[in-house]
Structure 1
Amino acid sequence: MGKTFWKDIYRSITTSKGRFSSILLLMMLGSFAFIGLKVSAPNMQRTAQNYLAHHHVMDITVFNSWGLDKHDQTVLESLKGSQVEFSYFVDTTPQQNSKSYRLYSNTKTISTFDLVKGRLPLNKSEIALSFQERKKYAIGDKINFKQDKNKLFSNTGPLTIVGFVNSTEIWSKTNLGSSQTGDGDLDSYGVLDKTAFHSPVYTMARVTFKDLRLINPFSISYKEKVAKYQEKVSRKLNIHNKIRYTKTKKESLRKIDEEEKSLLKAQKQINRLDNDSLAMPLSQRQAIQMKIKQDRLSLLKRTKELLKLRHNTQIMESPQIIVYNRTTFPGGQGYNTFDSSTNSTSKISNLFPIILYLVAALVTLTTMTRFVEEERTNAGILKALGYSDRQVIFKFIIYGFIAGTLGTTLGIIGGHYLLPRIISDIISKDLTIPNTQYHLFLNYSLLAFVFSLLSIVLPVFVITRRELKEKAAFLLLPKPPAKGSKIALEYINWIWKKLSFTQKVTARNIFRYKQRMIMTIFGVAGSVALLFSGLGIQSSLKQTVNEHFGRIMPYDILLTYNTNASPPKILELLSKDSKIDKYQPIHLENLDESIPGQINKQSISLFITDKKQLLPFIYLQEATTNKSLHLNNKGIIISKKLAQFYHVNTGDFIHLSHSQTLPSRKLKITGVVNANVGHYIFMTKQYYRTIFKKEAKDNAFLVKLTKHKIANNLAEKLLEINGVESLTQNALQLASVEAVVRSLDGSMTILVVVSLLLAIVILYNLTNINLAERKRELSTIKVLGFYNEEVTLYIYRETIILSTIGVILGTISGTYLHRQMMLLIGSDQILFGEKVSPTTFIIPISVVVIILISLGFIVNHQLKKLNMLDALKSVD
């Protein structure tokens, strides 16, 4: 192969810049989306995994509501292949304001704090605050905290700030979870030396396992193993927990019995003294009678206290063992957002870019097929000059290889270092984890090159080989037209006769170029489907949030209190505060249930009421018909996501454990309702009594405010009332869900832009092919006297019709693709809906219309320059 051969290849590229650029862009867009989405999640997860490993972040964390005693510590330390570290934490507020802080004792080996500035505390008079506090405080400043309720925190004096840290367990900058102080929302945290705490029992234990160190912490394999460890640890600790509960209760009752005996003995002594005083002188007797009266009042007071103490001991709840993982850990919302977002991105990468690549490959195939047909004469000349079939084929392969390789290379570079950076910035915007480290993934890069070869080189080889079977003399002649045949419409005479000449020509031309027709329809359909699914996901994400917090569960505050404490003070505040619109008492229980087929235990909220509905706090809306449902005494109503997990529907039954000490109960489902965030079960008090054989006493209030906003002052007042256990503001839950939605929404914006570019390239490419294929035909039309606009419409009318068909098919297939992708991106606790706004339909159609109009002007301009003499040239 000499210079002439390579010059011919170079000339082929320079004389068809539009075609070459189109192939390059198609392969670039395909590989850019494919590589970018495929490597984004692994890059972020690998960076996070290194961060977690560097700080030895716990695999599980163990809490005991009574504290971890020596036996609990022994059980945890005996776990094979594990490392355990015990520590303290308290929720409190500074004396200067009512912000809620969580103060941790410093760790030595597990979940070490990421020191950003300064140093860690060395004694009980020092503290390191969250890095987010650096704008409010400086190193050397003093801060005072109030005594916590359990008095674990011993130093209420001034603490010197010696550093700023990031917790390796709490990743979110904006949503740190709930708190027992302040307004119920954790505002910040700090680290103290262990000597700042005094307690005979630890409040938490962090545990790591050796066999989990090298496993991707965001993989299903890791989560399955952690879930098994959670179950194992919980089971072991609960065995001792029952003994501890029985022993503590028995010991408390024994002490009460002993004190009651002492009181009875004291009562006898008082009675004896009272009898003896009768024989005493009057003055002495009066003094003794006064003392007897005071002693009897003291005995009566203490007797009442003992009766109350006995009652409270009798109904005392057993200590609760809670084993958290990194996702469910208090304050783990940031980790959960990261986990959910990266896994959703990973799932999208298995579908979206593949379809995009297929569409790009189909259009590229059409482009290369047309290129081979255009170069038919040149191929004949090369063959006549003595070049072998292999060498001629090599020319076309080189053309496609250069275009495809350049495009794929650019796509791989952008996919490795541009798209992942954008996605990472979106997901990690509100997180404290380090900047993502980017790696080269050779496996995906090689796969992209393979796709390119399959899309360009292989089809070119097959088509060129088929063409070169003819002799050089035949190749030097134009390819004879296909044998004329009637189209299906011609057989329907009553329609065909009514068509004008232009309409008949258009109909024939559409079916005459079948390959171009199919590629135009599928190219437009593919672009519209990708655009629709991307825009649809964005729309569905926003509607999911608005629907759940605005319509399904529009209450503002969920307040829980201890049933042993009377709620008059709570009722008084709720009835008098002007910010409160309405409130309703309910019985609330939170369960952690193991559901077959699910890795993690699912947190389920039980709402029990004596009313038929929970309006206007919660709307029970049937999941399929959207009709309003009412509670009855025949069964329960459950949320849609929970029904999907159990694989049940109305009329079926589910088994609920409800208690670790009692057998599971069988509950009948009377309805399935919409609920996008969390799992819920609703039932009447009578049905609860029938199933669980006990009363459901009110222990919570649903509160609706006059204005939907965060009510910090009201929340602080409520939490200060004795007996109030927790307070959850819906606005804060909304912020948590919106963090997940923002990250997914940002990623989809990128994919929408890529889909838009693909639509432009496809329509431009197919329009150019159409013009090139029919240049001689269009010249003839102009010679026959057609005006420029008529010639433009003569050819462009077909593109408009085919694009319209493509838009219709694209919208239908886009609806299906959107539905499949919505199923992929959901999480355990979030069910993203499938509803889309009207703009989701309007935008893809508008985009195609705008592209067609723009290309129409370009086509019209090109046809004006068309040389009519081309129609008079001999084809021989």
Structure 2
Amino acid sequence: MNKLLLRNIKDSFGRFIAIAMIIMLGVLIFVGVKATGPALNDSLQAEVNSQKLSDVQIISTKGFTAKDVAAAEKVSGAKAETSKYKAVIGGKNRDAIALYGYDKQDKQNLPKIKSGRLPKANNEILLDSKAKTDEGYKLGDTFKFAKSADLTRRTFKVVGFADSAQYVDNATRGAANIGNGQVQYFAYVPKKMMNLPVATALNVRFSSLQDKGTFGSKYKDAVKDKVKQLKRVLNARKVDRAAELAKPATKKLTSAQSKLDAAKRQLATAAKAAPTNSRVKIQQKQLAKQQAKLDQQKKKVKDATTPTYIWSTREDFPGFSGYGESSDRIAAIANVFPLFFFLLAALITFTTVTRMVEESRSQIGTLKALGFSKGSIAYQYIMYALLAAVVGIVFGSVLGNELLPRLVISMYQNYVLGGAVVHFDWTSIGFAMVLALISTVGAAIIVINREVKVVPSELMRPKAPKSSKKIWLEKVTFIWSKLKFNQKISYRNLFRFKSRGIMTILGIAGGTALILTGFGLDNSISSSGQRQYNDLIHYDAVVQSKTTDKLPEVQKTVKDAGNYKQSTVVSTGAAKVSKGDKSVADITVYSPKNEDQFSKYIKVKDVDSKKQLSLPNDGIVLTEKAAKILGVKKGDKISVTGQNNHKIQVKVAAIAENYVSNFMYIKRQNYQNVMGKQPSMKTLLVQLKKTNKSAETKLGKQWISKNTNILGINFTTDQKKTVTNMSSQMGPIVWIFILLSGLLSFIVLYNLNNINISERQRELSTIKVLGFFDPEVTMYVARETIILAIVGIVGGYGLGNLLTMYVLHQAETNAVIFPLVIKPLGYVVATVLMIVFNLVVIAITHRHLKNVDMVEALKSNE
């Protein structure tokens, strides 16, 4: 039996390899894509661990001391340390720079040296690697800061370049209210050079969280809990810190209050003695004024000394959440696309193995007649399928798990990553192995079990061919009568061998659908940004004033700087919306000062009709993704939590089309009712005459340098770039899908065609003996394939759209919607590939049919 097994593999080596290849491709794409999402997370996690990235970072307006560190470390497992940080202007282009004070005692947020070394002397600086690639700085260069940076010295020598896990995305370094509003790169100088009396940042790391994946829900939930605990202890510490800062002023104010109280007592005694004395009444009024003035001074001191904290977790660091969403998208796609790919491969493999066993009926009958047991007969077919499956599983698992994630990670050039960290995904490999064995060994067991039950004499006779029946086309006589004989036979055969036809259609439809899905993912992900920033958003910059009363000055600065087209005033804020146990936090709220002008900057369109909406007098307009998360439709009520925890039930008057982020639009007159405060009209939406990165950089610097009342600037090109990066990150995955889908489709077609030919050797030999030429014999078979291919391609269009829609739904995040878009190129490529594959298979078939041994095929073994 082992010799027979080896001989069978040798004699049908092409089929053995085809089965192994189909299984390999199915396992490769399934295991590879399933492993890619975790590999992306693990690769960044390795950087996070090696650089000891903080779990929580707090920035204080009044700085931190050792007492704050001690307070933070009261939280179980917390290790806290302070650092000096501020945004400053520096470099040859006067860029905004995130400047950190370096100390060799630091244990958290350690920079990763790419070249050079850490600063040792007071005149040395370590720069972001981005400053080297983008600005052309080299080791040994002199780096100069602006006077406004307020450092102990202004010039430094560049001694090294580094990456930082605080800045994982090279496309962004965060925002700042200096320069052009965007940080260009980070830098480290010795801590003593920072010229700050106290540390400005408090970094906290928890040892108990480091074995949890940064992007996992367990880590995020644990961090939220730790942040709550930290807020309790640090908010309590606020009072003491304010008292420490206010001590000198409080001493003077206490003295003034004592004197004032003494004067009040004296005057009270005089008033009792002479209650009608007008002079006493005048003095009482003067003292009341002095008390009011003193109270005002006390309030100013309290406001000036009470710290304000800005809280950040890892996902708030620039580019961090975008990276996590990217890996989540791949993981979501991995739950659908590869499974469909693998099921198609398994279906074809099942058919191939079934056909292999059925072809050996005569041999099985002979072995039974010779007295071999059912088990020993089944052994060689089960082992044949098992060996092919094992070869496919091993190569598919290793190549998929090791090659695909590394290939994708190598293409993530926008992100600061070390080497790829890839672990074997044994769960996915195990699942793929089970499916592969079911489709190969399972098929062999089912079919051989059926065949060995048949008596030897029946097995050694060929199966009676299926009888031909009239088809519906024969009833359309004016068409049927005009067909040639071989055309009629081909059409009859289509209905005669239904299972083979269905398998061919499924194979072609599946291949077409997979290729279309690849293009659909690419087109749809890129279309979300195009629709958001071309169809809905029509402003180029958002400029915020520090206060409402300073807005006219800010507006004048923006107008006078050049490149200005027009602007409109809006109120912006943030709210939390919820319904039942579902909620969306940090939803951006817009309320326009002039609604007619507002429509020129943001198109608020109905999600269904796509018509422009007017803001309602009663209720709010909610964007599409937020409505989906909450499960609400037009007319439903939701809970809105605004300023100062003001909570109110509000009607959703309309749902607006939107693709990136979540927004809520409120009419100015209705704002206080919803948000619990009057709208603060201190934000400008600005349209520019010319928009490109260099023009915006220049403009942003002009605005901020001329007006200190500008709180912040954001250009939409930066947001567009973020969405473009999201699309480019998916590009490699998509093209891998397309290439592997094309390869699978070709192998499937080739395999099905081989099955078709092997099943019909006697029939085709008969046709040849009757005098048909080789091209006519080929067309006899190819005509059926072409018809089935057309049906499969058309069916694949519909299946591709359904599969793309489902995959996109899985890949969406809480802030992004992907519209279903498959451009004509996708249909053209999928169709052309299927046509080319069919033509290649037909050419191979023609060559095979020319060499058919007609005498051997027509020999009777009855």
TM-score interval for Structure 1 and Structure 2 normalised by the shorter chain: 0.7 to 0.9
Structure 2 CA distance for partners of 1:833 and 1:65, relative to 1, 3 Å: farther
Structure 2 CA distance for partners of 1:141 and 1:686, relative to 1, 3 Å: same
Structure 2 CA distance for partners of 1:259 and 1:644, relative to 1, 3 Å: farther
Cα deviations by residue, 1:421-455 (Å, 9 ceiling, x for unpaired) = 1111123x122221113334444444433332211
1:624, 1:251 → 2: CA distance?
A: 63
Match of 2:192 among 184, 192, 195: 195
Q: Residue 408 of structure 1 corresponds to which residue in structure 2?
A: 393
> What SS class does the counterpart of residue 765 from structure 1 fall into?
helix
Q: Is the 8 A contact 2:637 2:651 kept in 1?
A: yes
Q: Is the 8 A contact 1:689 1:696 kept in 2?
A: yes
1:22, 1:669 → 2: CA distance?
A: 57
Q: CA deviation at 1:44?
A: 3.1
2:177, 2:39 → 1: CA distance?
A: 37
Alignment of 1:782-821 (within 5 A): 782-821=768-807
Q: Is the 8 A contact 2:468 2:492 kept in 1?
A: no
Q: Is the 8 A contact 1:678 1:830 kept in 2?
A: yes
> What SS class does the counterpart of residue 128 from structure 1 fall into?
strand
Q: Percent identity?
A: 26
Structure 2 CA distance for partners of 1:33 and 1:480, relative to 1, 3 Å: same
Q: Is the 8 A contact 2:575 2:585 kept in 1?
A: no
Alignment of 1:423-822 (within 5 A): 423-427=408-412, 429-482=413-466, 484=467, 486=469, 489=472, 500=483, 502=486, 504-563=488-547, 566-591=550-575, 601-602=585-586, 604-612=588-596, 614-659=598-643, 661-692=644-675, 694-710=677-693, 711-720=696-705, 721-822=707-808
Q: Is the 8 A contact 1:84 1:208 kept in 2?
A: yes
Q: Residue 128 of structure 2 corresponds to which residue in structure 1?
A: 130
Structure 2 CA distance for partners of 1:614 and 1:315, relative to 1, 3 Å: farther
Match of 2:27 among 4, 27, 31: 31
Q: Is the 8 A contact 2:576 2:584 kept in 1?
A: no
Q: Is the 8 A contact 1:638 1:671 kept in 2?
A: yes
Q: CA deviation at 1:26?
A: 0.2
2:57, 2:712 → 1: CA distance?
A: 21
Q: Is the 8 A contact 2:69 2:81 kept in 1?
A: no
Q: Is the 8 A contact 2:152 2:195 kept in 1?
A: no
Match of 2:328 among 343, 348, 351: 343
Give the AA of the match of 2:143.
I
Q: Is the 8 A contact 1:612 1:630 kept in 2?
A: no
1:865, 1:471 → 2: CA distance?
A: 34
1:543, 1:309 → 2: CA distance?
A: 56
Number of matched residues?
822
Q: CA deviation at 1:85?
A: 1.4
Cα deviations by residue, 1:315-364 (Å, 9 ceiling, x for unpaired) = 999865332111112xx21x223312222222222222211111111111
Q: Is the 8 A contact 1:565 1:723 kept in 2?
A: no
Give the AA of the match of 1:88.
K
Give the AA of the match of 2:311.
V
Structure 2 CA distance for partners of 1:93 and 1:612, relative to 1, 3 Å: same
1:86, 1:445 → 2: CA distance?
A: 46
Give the AA of the match of 1:668.
K
Q: CA deviation at 1:215?
A: 1.0
Structure 2 CA distance for partners of 1:235 and 1:456, relative to 1, 3 Å: same
Structure 2 CA distance for partners of 1:414 and 1:495, relative to 1, 3 Å: farther
TM-score (norm 1): 0.86
> What SS class does the counterpart of residue 598 from structure 2 fall into?
coil
> Higher mean Cα deviation, 240-249 or 720-729?
240-249
Q: CA deviation at 1:875?
A: 4.4
1:382, 1:342 → 2: CA distance?
A: 55
Match of 2:18 among 16, 22, 27: 22
1:751, 1:516 → 2: CA distance?
A: 27
Instruction: Establish whether residue 89 from structure 1 lines up as the match of residue 85 from structure 2.
Output: yes
Match of 2:309 among 308, 317, 321: 321
Instruction: Establish whether residue 384 from structure 1 lines up as the match of residue 369 from structure 2.
Output: yes
Cα deviations by residue, 1:601-641 (Å, 9 ceiling, x for unpaired) = 44534344331462332111222221111223222222212
Q: Is the 8 A contact 1:234 1:321 kept in 2?
A: no
Match of 1:112 among 110, 114, 117: 110
Cα deviations by residue, 1:762-784 (Å, 9 ceiling, x for unpaired) = 11111111111112112222333
Q: Is the 8 A contact 1:607 1:680 kept in 2?
A: no
Give the AA of the match of 2:403.
L
Cα deviations by residue, 1:39-90 (Å, 9 ceiling, x for unpaired) = 2223332333233223221112123345457775554232122111122211
Match of 1:121 among 94, 119, 122: 119
Match of 1:163 among 160, 181, 200: 160
> What SS class does the counterpart of residue 177 from structure 1 fall into?
coil
Cα deviations by residue, 1:126-164 (Å, 9 ceiling, x for unpaired) = 32211333463444443221244xx7x532432233332
Give the AA of the match of 2:313.
N
Q: CA deviation at 1:180?
A: 2.1
Q: CA deviation at 1:760?
A: 0.7
1:692, 1:258 → 2: CA distance?
A: 42
Q: Is the 8 A contact 2:634 2:652 kept in 1?
A: yes
1:555, 1:231 → 2: CA distance?
A: 38
Structure 2 CA distance for partners of 1:614 and 1:808, relative to 1, 3 Å: same
> Higher mean Cα deviation, 210-219 or 377-386?
377-386
Instruction: Establish whether residue 854 from structure 1 lines up as the match of residue 854 from structure 2.
Output: no
2:359, 2:597 → 1: CA distance?
A: 73
Q: Residue 832 of structure 1 corresponds to which residue in structure 2?
A: 818
1:830, 1:312 → 2: CA distance?
A: 44
Instruction: Establish whether residue 214 from structure 1 lines up as the match of residue 199 from structure 2.
Output: no
Give the AA of the match of 1:545.
G
Q: Residue 275 of structure 1 corresponds to which residue in structure 2?
A: none
Match of 2:177 among 146, 167, 180: 180
1:840, 1:544 → 2: CA distance?
A: 18
Alignment of 1:247-262 (within 5 A): none
> What SS class does the counterpart of residue 215 from structure 2 fall into?
coil
For structure 1, the 5+ residue unaligned runs are: 263-304
Q: Is the 8 A contact 1:175 1:735 kept in 2?
A: no
1:621, 1:118 → 2: CA distance?
A: 54
2:65, 2:810 → 1: CA distance?
A: 43
Structure 2 CA distance for partners of 1:497 and 1:662, relative to 1, 3 Å: closer
Q: CA deviation at 1:181?
A: 1.9
Give the AA of the match of 1:133.
A
Structure 2 CA distance for partners of 1:740 and 1:515, relative to 1, 3 Å: same
Q: Is the 8 A contact 2:577 2:583 kept in 1?
A: no
Give the AA of the match of 2:378.
I
Structure 2 CA distance for partners of 1:370 and 1:91, relative to 1, 3 Å: same
Q: Is the 8 A contact 1:233 1:323 kept in 2?
A: no
> Higher mean Cα deviation, 497-506 or 753-762?
497-506
1:141, 1:307 → 2: CA distance?
A: 54
1:351, 1:319 → 2: CA distance?
A: 50
**How well do the aligned residues superpose, as a CA RMSD in angstroms?**
3.5
2:820, 2:254 → 1: CA distance?
A: 63
> What SS class does the counterpart of residue 100 from structure 2 fall into?
strand
1:163, 1:43 → 2: CA distance?
A: 30
